[in-house]
Chains A and B, each alone.
Chain A
Amino acid sequence: MDQIDKHIGRRAFIRNTGLAGGGLIIGFSWLNSCKPKNISTEQALEMPKEWFEINAYIKIGDNGVATIFCPNPEFGQGVMTAMPMIVAEELDISWKDVLVKQAPFNTELYERQFTGGSQGIRRSWEGLRMAGATAKQMLKQAAAEAWQVPVSGITVSDGVLSHEATGKTAGFGEMAAAASNMEVPENVETKAVKDFKIVSHSKKNVEGKQIVTGEPMFGLDYQYEGTLIAMVEHPPAFGLKLKSFDDSEVRNMPGIVDVFQINTYDDNFVRNFFDTNAFPDLVAIVGKTTWEVMNAKKKLKAEWEPITEKKLTFDRFGSISEVTVPSGLESTKKHDELMEKMASQPGEIARKDGDPESAFKNAAKVLERSYSCPFLAHNCMEPMNFFAHVTEEGIKLAGPSQAPSIIESTLASRLDVPAEKIEIEMTRMGGGFGRRAYGHYAIEAALISKQAKAPIKLVYSREDDMTFGIYRPSYQATYRAALDENNNLIAFHVKSGGVPESPLFANRFPAGAVDNYLAEQWVINSNITIGAFRAPRSNFTAGVEQAFLDEVAEAAGKDPIDFRLELLKRVKENPVGEENDYDPDRIAGVLKLVKEKSNWAQTPPGVHRGVSAYFCHNSYAAHVVDVVMDGDQPRVEKVTCAIDCGIVINPDAASLMAEGAIVDGIGNAMYGNMSFTDGKPDHSNFDTYKMIRQNEAPKEIEVHFVQNEIDPTGLGEPPFPPVFGALANALYKATGRRFTKQPFSTDKPPLVG
């Protein structure tokens, strides 16, 4: 058994006596405000008469039913199910007796209520286990006292406490009241992996029933009496700002209540990490219904003027940095020219091993290939929105956010109110993909509510959402490889950059596998705002690096999987450098598993296959993509995927996550594209921004997990980036052409003649 010291996540286990009266919970406003739901099984559980709070994660009812609170916000990654599963496992309760609820946002009670970076499960694993294990210990303690027996003799299974020697048994419900008054134990034991009964055993989405019946769950569905609808008008192009507006036509339109300007933050405001925002000056239109406000917005006349170059200060979790925002109206054509120019010049050296210059000079063969990708819009299906009610007494917010703590901190400083006066309710998010870490829309909602003196729900139209920025950056990379006369890889060179961020990971594979290695980077400043997009930087780097390695393997006359395995063996036995940030065994592990499961040695006739493997966000993923030709059109028939993310909490949901990442990867590799003309986004809705659809998804996806007992790591991001590479490699086999410019659907050979 593992001993876990109690300091992990300690705050969560110290009972919040302010909330519980003698262990009995009364008057939780966030509980009373919603009717009992979130039922994890098809049948409704019988509700207990009394609930007893054991800690911030667990309440147990007098009938033995437990409510487990999921601390992190849910955006489709499955934490609402997975996190409570971990708690329930250590609590040793039967899953059918568990209700799941979203925890309130409360930095006193919970740590890291943040969704992003694929870190939810990894960072909470021990804390969640402790929440369950300490609660179980308190129940055992309560039983020991009731039965006057030593606690060591008490065993627990499926929510039943037993003492073998005396034959006494009791359900959790009978001991809950006493347990809730127990001292929180200092040290407790957690289960051995082999004894898991809930973790690693697939459980259905606890909110599945609500989703398929259309219950209100999302921010856009949020209801509050007297709520008005607000929309904002932002500049039509990056590099512009609001000069003036004329609302004369708008004010008298039906349902319109108010029109005014808001300033989300001025240029001197010290911004938090996720306070990226190209358009702080906005016109807000407030009215009674969404349709009326949408119509009024079309009639608003605004004048815009160019921005001047400015410097903004960001406080990135304590480290202060200055960011220069250039003026001007940027275009994709210009970006591409600039990127080409930067790529032809020396970059800033991020890592250098050996003597790459000489190695390239003396090589028997040198390969070189350049790659690029456009900006991407996140396009969460639920457009950005937030509810706000700002009064003298305090601020109530509700909506979809990956990072409520940032909203709280920014709003506290923007409105100069103490954080305690800000209450944020986390609603289920209709997708996030990084976009909802950037909470400007919640700040906007609060400012509008304050000025309108009313509860409001800020709603972005699809067009507002797609043209507000925070995009995946546009990147470029040039790779070179040198082979000796025996086809050994003797030198490797990557130079990459982007607008306005470099995608380089200097210490990732194949760094460490090549004696002579050079990694360089560059950036081009821009006023188009960018942000985290499912596996930031990796979502480009993985694809192009894995496509290039494919080409190198081919030039070396080697099988692409064997070629990678040879290099990984080299890293394991005799690594170059000390900074390599991946485990070569685990990359090799997923490659071997995908090789076996895809039956790599026997490619079916008519099938063209590409492979890739990548490490990011602490997890490892490899894919084999099978492409077939339908006339002259390639089609993805099947994807076989192997993942090593340690212990898999909820295997079927984990597969679903990987399936989604694969479909998303194919979609963005093939079609994803946000371009600009004179600062204006060229696409603002799904009529021209092409998203992958049902008939373009692979026919089959197989997901396999490496079985081990390593502490779990994340899954939202890791299976996504390598898809781009495996697809490019399969397309090469199918068409004989290397696809280097994303999106691949428009990467056509130049027309001849």
Chain B
Amino acid sequence: MCLNFVSLFPSNSDIFMPSITIMAKLNLKINGEVKEVDVDPSTPVLWVLRDHLNLVGTKYGCGIAQCGACTVHLDGTATRSCMLTVSMVGNSEITTIEGLSENGDHPVQKAWLDVDVPQCGYCQAGQIMTAAALLDKNPNPSDEEIEMAMNGNICRCGTYLRIKKAVKIASENS
């Protein structure tokens, strides 16, 4: 991959719903439990998790699907929760970092500790969720595939080399 100036993730997205201000009771499947929330349906899942359900492991970094800090799994697929409105979730299962494993022992989490990836740590929940979804679909990714999958997750502290190393270890161990 090259030192390329073009961002891979254009911000203009048409998935935003028009702003509606009616509240609605919704049932969300989160980390294996059904949670009832009473929110404006245009609220992004990120803020429902953080402000309504007290699940703050999912982070806010940009709000426009550019940094990956807010990554959760939607039916197993890595998804930016900052631009996923609750109304779009329907029956899909949401998994957050808190629900990735029972005791923090998912192979990706273990590899992360093994390699001692984090610096400040703020981006890491998003990195881990992206990595876990990647390995789920592609248990033995090549270097290029890891780079492609992880490219949407910014780490301001620059832990990219350890992230890649940890993904490889997790792939070997899972």
Q: Which residues of A are at the interface with B, using a C-beta cutoff of 8 A?
A: 42, 75-78, 204-205, 207-209, 211-218, 220-221, 223, 229, 253-254, 289-292, 294-295, 379-383, 428-433, 461-462, 630-631, 633-636, 652-653, 656-657, 659-664, 667, 670-671, 685-688, 690-701, 745-746
Contacts and interface: CB of A to CB of B under 8 A. Distances in A.
A295 to B, nearest CB: 6
Nearest to B19: A295
Q: Which of B11, B50, B66, B156 has the most CB of A within 10 A?
A: B156
A214 B158 contact: no
Contacts of A77: 119
A213 B57 contact: yes
Contacts of B146: 694
A429 B120 contact: yes
A379 B108 CA distance: 27
Interface residues of B, number: 70
Q: Is the interface of B mostly helix, strand, loop or mixed?
A: loop
B62 A462 contact: yes
Contact of B122 (A381, A670, A695): A381
A254 B20 CA distance: 10
Given A381-B155, A694-B160, A290 B5 contact: no
Given A291-B51, A429-B120, A634 B3 contact: yes
B151 A687 contact: no
Contact of B61 (A211, A212, A462, A670): A462
A229 B2 CA distance: 42
B171 interface: no
Interface string B124-159: 110010000000000000010011101111111111
B96 interface: yes
B17 interface: no
A204 B116 contact: yes
B157 A660 contact: yes
B104 A209 contact: yes
B51 A229 contact: yes
B122 A382 contact: yes
A745 B7 CA distance: 13
B21 A253 contact: yes
Contact of A661 (B97, B128, B158, B164): B158
A214 B118 contact: no
Contacts of B161: 659, 663, 697-698, 700-701
Nearest to A75: B120
Contact of A381 (B58, B69, B128): B69
Interface in B20-36: 21, 23
24 contacts: A76-B118, A205-B118, A212-B104, A214-B55, A214-B125, A220-B56, A223-B56, A254-B23, A289-B47, A291-B47, A381-B59, A381-B154, A382-B59, A383-B61, A428-B121, A430-B123, A431-B120, A432-B120, A461-B63, A671-B5, A693-B8, A695-B1, A696-B4, A745-B3
B88 interface: no
A211 B124 contact: yes
B5 A690 contact: yes
B98 A214 contact: yes
A648 B94 CA distance: 43
A289 B48 CA distance: 9
B113 A208 contact: yes
B64 A687 contact: yes
A214 B57 contact: yes
Contacts of B63: 294, 461-462, 685
A656 B2 contact: no
B60 A383 contact: yes
Nearest to B50: A290
B11 A381 contact: no
B40 interface: yes
Instruction: List 6 tightest A-B contacts by C-beta distance, closest first.
Output: A214-B57, A430-B122, A663-B158, A76-B120, A214-B97, A687-B11
Contacts of A697: 158, 160-161
A686 B65 CA distance: 9
A431 B61 contact: no
B113 A379 contact: no
A18 B52 CA distance: 39
B7 A690 contact: yes
A380 B62 CA distance: 11
Nearest to B22: A254
A659 B164 CA distance: 13
Contact of A664 (B23, B124, B153, B158): B158
Q: Which of B43, B121, B162 has the most CB of A within 10 A?
A: B121
B158 A693 contact: no
Q: Which of A429, A696, A745 has the most CB of B within 10 A?
A: A696
B79 interface: no
Given A207-B121, A462-B62, 12 more contacts: A211-B125, A213-B104, A214-B56, A223-B56, A380-B156, A633-B3, A656-B116, A659-B158, A670-B3, A686-B62, A687-B10, A700-B161
Contacts of B56: 214, 216, 220-221, 223
Contacts of B125: 211-212, 214
A662 B61 contact: no
